[in-house]
Amino acid sequence: MKLSALTAYLESLAPLNYQEDYDNSGLIVGNPEQEVSHALISLDCTEAVVDEAIATGCQVIISHHPIVFKGLKKFNGKTYVERVVEKAIRKGIAIYAIHTNLDSIMTGVNARICETLGLKNSRILLPKHNLIKKLVTYVPLNHADTVRDALFAAGAGTIGNYSEVSFNAEGTGTFKGNDAATPYVGEIGKRHKEDEIRIETVYPANLESKILMALILAHPYEEVAYDLYNLTNQHQQVGSGMIGELELPLNEESFLFHVKDKMRTHVIRHTKLLGKHVKKVAVCGGSGGFLLKHAIAAGADVFITADYKYHEFFDAEGKIVIADIGHFESEQFTQQLLYEIIRKKFPIFAVRLTEVNTNPVKYFI
């Protein structure tokens, strides 16, 4: 299939506008129109991973971490980033990254951590703002159901566990067409009054073009009147980190042994144990220190993440146990998650997990 078909599906699950401002998710190297039949999945895109893609006949590498975060001004092979990009281009291998946008969804990286640890009732720890918009349009009474159905089918009207959500109010619209108009109702040059329904519904901002196209195609009027509003509401199913609960509480040492086993980590750096039982657990794959205050506010007993610096451990202040399990270790199951996502949608597409351990951190035990 075309590479664009694969990336479009991934972005339908984890839209690019869900990523953080500093991130660089999406197609980094490659032509969307190129044909692909084999994909290689990795956490990082290193030279060894590109070599593996070449050896196994993979035309695209799907990595969690982007190989390019900042603009490259020179390509002279001095850094591993330049060498990876150069080799991929020479060999015709596409590189696609799905990073903080995959972190942010309810079924993404943090959900897999919760699942691995056996956490229940998981929810987003810090929901994102400015991802929801509102559409208002005005429709003749006898076309209201048709337009609503089209908007819902395009992805509008979903709030949490509810779909086909809208508000409707009846009123009167007026218009007068000029000589170039071809009005659905009324006469040219005369003001016309029409009984209409005002339809209001919300939608994900990333679906705006699809929803507006559905509106225009379903609406009977030559000129469709509509208003678009930016909302600052939180999107409860998109955001940073997650929090969940153990089915049965564990003492802190038993819980850390549980984490060490399930997350396959060599070592856990943690703050002072507080002598409490662990019931509620916050998690964030990768560098999640910015979520500490939210984990505390949510009542978490332990916060599992990575990349904590020495002085940042003091911020726990005896209110929570911080458990730094390592960046690679916290995100390693992302590879299997991506494998399952792709295989479920494209069961006959050849996809394989990298055999390269890209973790740059080694432990002297």
Question: Residues comprising the binding site for a divalent metal cation?
Answer: 64-65, 103, 327, 331
CB 168 within 8 A of CB 199: yes
Structure tokens at 306: 């990575």
Structure tokens at 284: 């964030």
Residues facing 321 on adjacent strands: 302
Q: Which residues are annotated as a binding site?
A: 64-65, 103, 327, 331
The amino acid occupying position 22 is: Y
Angle 332-110-202 from CA coordinates, rounded to 5° = 140
Contacts 24+ apart (CB under 8 A), 84-90: 84/45, 84/46, 84/47, 84/50, 85/28, 85/29, 87/47, 87/50, 87/51, 88/29, 88/30, 88/50, 88/61, 89/29
Strands 192-204 vs 94-97: parallel, antiparallel or unpaired: unpaired
Q: Which of 137, 146, 220, 148 is nearest to 185 (CA)?
A: 220
Alpha carbon distance 216, 212 (integer Å): 6
The amino acid occupying position 52 is: E
